[in-house]
Structure 1
């Protein structure tokens, strides 16, 4: 399917839309109000949304009634869309992956602290998630600000980490069939996909530094064994989970969220057994981490 977007071609009524940005914590997360994404964004609106995204790392929009085409078009305004290596898209929209947890399933897709697809040479810079059906309780997503994690490390540890690269692999993810039942899985033979990236990553747009290792993709430091790497890695993972770096998103039906994989990690809470949850996911291709 040809990629396209309608940004700058809509908002022809002459009615000026007021975009309101509502911060959700001291460092990370903001709600964006005053937009109907289904009709597209003007250039000015897009710039406001993009700046909020860079400032707050994860932003969300409530009460968005989106068709797959409208969702696809909105995402394309932020860059080239990428199909997910291990799952097919929905019919007619290869870049929209449906993630389903049924009433009878106990495992959940994404219930680990991670940054999406760090095992790719070009990891996605943005992940979007659109809530189609949510449980009556539970199913929130936690987000961590890895800018702040890096900022609060000691000067000595920062210097050490600046000199290191990490080996990231899809094989670290538990290959539990129940977890991958949530998506139309494919390419199981590519579970050894791997890439080497800097442990400390400089954001391509903001220039800020963040911690770029995570517990389900990072095998170890380049040139070291996994056993040698784990003590320091485990310490870093513990820093990511500290509450002062986090924001908790409580989903509602038709909420659209988008987050920056270059400077965040996230964790899908699996606390809604016996209820159905359906989400539509899009990833936007990123750059080589530097």
Structure 2
């Protein structure tokens, strides 16, 4: 097995079959996951059961309460865009489940049906974003906490209201608000990381939204510099496994008129400090 760091964020892992991991390979992957934030695999042939078995090596599975599940495996959420649809799922910078009290450890996304062109995913490193901040701004942010919510995205009046194919549902469950440190110490690596994101962070705790926006806007633009990002081009057999505490991601919506289906499993995490 070879693990090759990429420019920006993440590492490509070759020479491994995720259906047949040895104990040694599992240990190496867990360390690489902590070090790089996102791991990319090619030429895998994972059945839904294989997908679940791989995810369970890293922790309990979170049954997503908003995404439509596959018909046969409730552990697997569909990330689907039909040919006639103009909006996709995840089409803005975000990190999954930051609105939970114990945000998700990570997500394992498997390509099932890809458009002829387009549909790539961008990733950004929140380790690198933090490291590049000035000493003064780091000191300011260390004392701040931020409020995250699911209501404005998955709620009855949220961004996905009126989705005709019911890709997103259960709006009555969109009651999660959580407060997390703006700078976290990552539970696996021990490194500092920036922990706010454009999709789910509302404002700094104790600040108004108007007061929060100038600084949050600066951090959002800072975090997506080219030096911190990687673009992953999906192919048949591709798998991405990202850490939601150390990265953001953005699913590009550049394949109108074509179909795309991905299978995602989310892994339970822990409280952040």
How does the TM-score come out when normalised to structure 2? 0.94
With CA pairs under 8 Å and 6+ residues apart, which has the higher RCO, 1 or 2?
Answer: 2
1:150 to 121, 130, 154: 130
2:83 to 103, 118, 121: 103
The 8 Å contact of residues 164 and 199 in structure 1, kept in 2 or not, is answered as yes
The 8 Å contact of residues 82 and 95 in structure 1, kept in 2 or not, is answered as yes
Aligned to 1:206: 189
Per-residue Cα deviation, 1:204-263 (whole angstroms, up to 9, x for no partner): 111101110011101101111111111110010111111110011000012111001111
**Shift in alpha-carbon separation, 1:179–1:33, aligned structure 2, 3 A:** farther
The 8 Å contact of residues 131 and 253 in structure 1, kept in 2 or not, is answered as yes
**Shift in alpha-carbon separation, 1:273–1:193, aligned structure 2, 3 A:** same
Q: Please give the alpha-carbon distance, in whole angstroms, between the structure 1 residues aligned to 2:142 and 2:3.
A: 34
Q: Please give the alpha-carbon distance, in whole angstroms, between the structure 1 residues aligned to 2:191 and 2:46.
A: 33
In structure 2, stretches of 5+ residues that fail to align are none
Aligned to 1:7: none
Aligned to 2:160: 176
Aligned to 1:23: 5
Aligned to 2:16: 35
1:247-258 matched pairs, under 5 angstroms: 247-258=230-241
Q: Please give the alpha-carbon distance, in whole angstroms, between the structure 2 residues aligned to 1:134 and 1:265.
A: 22
Q: Please give the alpha-carbon distance, in whole angstroms, between the structure 2 residues aligned to 1:166 and 1:102.
A: 35
Q: Please give the alpha-carbon distance, in whole angstroms, between the structure 2 residues aligned to 1:41 and 1:176.
A: 38
Q: Please give the alpha-carbon distance, in whole angstroms, between the structure 2 residues aligned to 1:197 and 1:182.
A: 30
Aligned to 1:94: 74
Shift of 1:85: 2.0
Shift of 1:128: 0.8
The 8 Å contact of residues 137 and 272 in structure 1, kept in 2 or not, is answered as yes
Q: How many residues align?
A: 269
Q: Please give the alpha-carbon distance, in whole angstroms, between the structure 2 residues aligned to 1:178 and 1:78.
A: 35
Per-residue Cα deviation, 1:39-60 (whole angstroms, up to 9, x for no partner): x211101111112212221111
Partner SS, residue 142 of structure 1: strand
Aligned to 1:289: 272
Q: Please give the alpha-carbon distance, in whole angstroms, between the structure 1 residues aligned to 2:237 and 2:166.
A: 19
**Shift in alpha-carbon separation, 1:33–1:91, aligned structure 2, 3 A:** same
**Shift in alpha-carbon separation, 1:181–1:167, aligned structure 2, 3 A:** farther
Q: Please give the alpha-carbon distance, in whole angstroms, between the structure 2 residues aligned to 1:81 and 1:216.
A: 23
Per-residue Cα deviation, 1:92-149 (whole angstroms, up to 9, x for no partner): 3211001111111110100111111100011111111000011111110000011111
Partner SS, residue 37 of structure 1: coil
